[in-house]
Amino acid sequence: EIVLTQSPGTLSLSPGERATLSCRASQGVSSSYLGWYQQKPGQAPRLLIYGASSRATGVPDRFSGSGSGTYFTLTISRLEPEDFAVYYCHQYGTSPRTFGQGTKVEIK
Amino acid sequence: EVQLVESGGGLVKPGGSLRLSCAVSGFTFSSYSMNWVRQAPGKGLEWISFISSSGKYIFYADSVKGRFTISRDNAKNSLYLQMNSLRAEDTAVYFCASPTITMIQGVTDYWGQGTLVTVSS
Helix (H, G, I), strand (E, B) or coil at B31: helix
Kindly list the residues from chain B whose CB atom is less than 8 angstroms away from the CB atom of residue A39.
45
Q: What is the mean pLDDT of chain A?
A: 96
Helix (H, G, I), strand (E, B) or coil at A83: helix
Give the confidence band of B79 by pLDDT, cuts at 50, 70, 90.
very high
What secondary structure letter does DSSP report for B54? T
Question: Among all residues of chain B, which has the CA nearest to that of A58?
Answer: B106
pLDDT tens digits for range B84-109? 999 999 999 999 999 988 888 889 99
Strand arrangement of the beta sheet that strand A4-7 belongs to? A4-7, A19-29, A63-76
Mean pLDDT of B38-46: 97
The reported pLDDT for the residue numbered B87 is: 98
Mean pLDDT of A7-30: 96
Min Cα separation A80/chain B (Å): 22
Give the confidence band of B15 by pLDDT, cuts at 50, 70, 90.
very high
pLDDT tens digits for range A22-37? 999 999 998 789 999 9
Q: Are A77 and A18 in contact (CB under 8 A)?
A: yes
Kindly determine whether residue A99 and residue B103, on different chains, have CB atoms separated by under 8 Å. no
Question: Among all residues of chain A, which has the CA nearest to that of B112?
Answer: A44
Give the confidence band of A82 by pLDDT, cuts at 50, 70, 90.
very high
Kindly list the residues from chain A whose CB atom is less than 8 angstroms away from the CB atom of residue B99.
92
With a pLDDT cut of 70, the percent of chain A lying above it is 100
Mean pLDDT of A38-51: 97
Kindly list the residues from chain B whose CB atom is less than 8 angstroms away from the CB atom of residue A57.
103, 105-108
Burial state string for A68-93 with b = 16 or more CB within 10 A and e = fewer than 16: eeeebbbebeebeeebbbbbbbbbbe
Kindly determine whether residue A58 and residue B106, on different chains, have CB atoms separated by under 8 Å. yes
Tell me the C-alpha distance between A76 and B113, whole Å: 26
CA atoms within a 13 Å half-sphere pointing along the CA-CB vector of B46: 18
Per DSSP (E only), the strands in chain A are 4-7, 10-13, 19-29, 34-39, 46-50, 54-55, 63-76, 86-91, 98-99, 103-107
Q: Within 10 A of A3 (CB to CB), how many other CB atoms are there?
A: 12
Kindly determine whether residue A47 and residue B44, on different chains, have CB atoms separated by under 8 Å. no
Say if strands A10-13 and A103-107 run parallel, antiparallel, or are unpaired: parallel
User: Any residues with CB less than 8 A from the CB of B102 and at least 6 apart, and which?
Assistant: none
What secondary structure letter does DSSP report for B46? E
Tell me the C-alpha distance between A77 and B58, whole Å: 39
| A-B Cβ pairs (cutoff 8 Å, strict) | 57
Kindly list the residues from chain B whose CB atom is less than 8 angstroms away from the CB atom of residue A41.
none
Kindly list the residues from chain A whose CB atom is less than 8 angstroms away from the CB atom of residue B35.
97
